[in-house]
Amino acid sequence: MSHYKPYPAYKDSGVAWLGRVPEHWQLMPLKRLVRSIEQGWSPECEARPAESGEWGVVKVGCVNGGRFRPEENKALPVSLEPRPELGLCKGDVLVSRANTRELVGSCAVVPQDYPNLLLCDKIYRIRAGEWVTPKFLAALITVHGRRAVEIEATGASSSMLNISQSVILNLPVALPEPAEQDQIMAAASHETARIDALVAKKTRFIELLREKRQALITHAVTKGLDPSVKMKDSGVKWLGEVPEHWELAPLKRLISSIAQGWSPECEARTPDSGEWGVVKVGCVNGGVFRPEESKALPAEMEARPELGLRKGDVLVSRANTRELVGSCAVVPKDYPHLLLCDKLYRIGCGARVTPDFLAALITVYGRRAVEIEATGASSSMVNIAQSVILDLFVAIPSKQEQDVIMDRISVTTARIESLCAKTERSIELLKERRSALITAAVTGQIDLREAV
């Protein structure tokens, strides 16, 4: 941001972390800039977004990322009376009041009227007064609110924090005139749009890399590594030909067991060392087991040690979104204090298949099964039955060839994953640059009045 000039003159704000601000900006608490602040309600909603014409209640994630996302909502049951006074209006500034440390205080402006989308109780709705525009107010809260979160946010654990109305309203801010606010936001929007476009391109590049990764895995576990090997008809239309020496069998003949766990009421935090925890369904997303995707079991609740995870367990998500149901990963070591949840199947391998190859088979064949067999009330949450998994008709080589295939997959995909990691890091740096630009703009560190 070195090409941006500072303002001609500054003054001390009197706030240590805010520092010097442009001389002509006014210093005041944020409460002088707002007409009203309120939060909504949290009725028991359906686990799907509202359809056109239905009433819905926004989820706290609707403001993540600084943009209002109306699709982040849950449908209000027809048996419940809606509260139209909580309908969202153009210019409403929404702030997450209860969320993780990284996301509490997230803020976005509602760009148009959404009369059928209702405010939830984990979000504050703030309406701007005459001295500030909604966009500038949202930027102020985003920037200054992060500092408030570091100091003032409270919560039972670091995984879920709350920020009170008084913390928001008492934020000390420096403010230019509304005309200058518009100039600043127009210039900032122009620059952030360029950054967002680059982030979108890099994100698409990662998607293509992951598609390539999956295509490589699919080809390896359904066709093998030798392009000259003699093939035979699998008898499965979508699978086509497979290597002649591979065995065809339903998956149930290759496994020793299949079971699912339980869903106790857990605490909204990961378990500490030595504590009991229950894994979440997201622990298998991406094909790698992630033990941190778990919740702590309350101390007063008796654990079920027989559900502890063991090295070689193949975990499959049985209930998830359509994109993620059927996700599969291998547990790499014993986790006796991490217990299986009821949204996951745990599959034990038989003598003819290795855990890694079985997981790859389920990932590949299971995606096809999901397209055909998965059931659910809506596209946002679907289920895949044990019978669907067990009846998957697969082709497998010897265990020795399975190991060779998985070793080749590991080497090839490692290169792709490394490139994905580098690209993801560059996206993080771009997002940091975007955040730094907004911070500098709304605190007066740079002068954007003539930038557009």
Spell out where 269-373 has E strands.
Answer: 277-279, 294-296, 308-309, 314-317, 319-320, 328-330, 335-339, 344-349
Return the H-helix or E-strand segment holding 73. strand 73-75
Return the H-helix or E-strand segment holding 405. helix 399-442
In this prediction the pTM is 0.77
Q: Compute and round to an integer the Cα radius of gyration of the chain.
A: 26
Q: What is the pLDDT of residue 148?
A: 65
Task: State residue 124 phi and psi, 5-degree precision.
Answer: -90, 140
Q: What is the pLDDT of residue 205?
A: 97
| Distance between CA atoms of residues 131 and 176, nearest Å | 9
Neighbours of 336 (CB within 10 A): 12
Q: What is the pLDDT of residue 97?
A: 87
Q: What is the pLDDT of residue 359?
A: 93
Pairing of strands 114-118, 56-58: parallel
| Distance between CA atoms of residues 351 and 358, nearest Å | 11
DSSP string, 31-85: GGGEEEEEE-B-----SSPPPTTS-EEE-GGGGGGGS--TTSEEEPPTTSPP-GG
Q: What is the pLDDT of residue 144?
A: 81
Burial 187-201 (b: 16+ CB within 10 A, else e): bbeebbeeeeeebee
What does each of the 452 residues of the chain score in pLDDT, given as a tens digit?
567 899 999 999 988 888 899 999 999 999 999 999 999 998 999 989 999 889 999 999 999 888 899 999 999 999 999 999 999 999 999 999 887 777 888 899 999 999 999 999 999 999 999 999 999 999 998 888 766 666 655 554 555 678 888 888 988 899 999 999 999 999 999 999 999 999 999 999 999 999 999 899 999 999 999 999 999 998 888 788 999 999 999 999 999 999 999 989 999 899 998 899 999 999 998 889 999 999 999 989 999 999 999 999 999 998 887 788 888 999 999 999 999 999 999 999 999 999 999 999 988 887 776 666 555 545 567 788 888 888 888 999 999 999 999 999 999 999 999 999 999 999 999 999 998 999 999 999 999 887 65
Q: What is the pLDDT of residue 150?
A: 62
Q: What is the pLDDT of residue 236?
A: 82
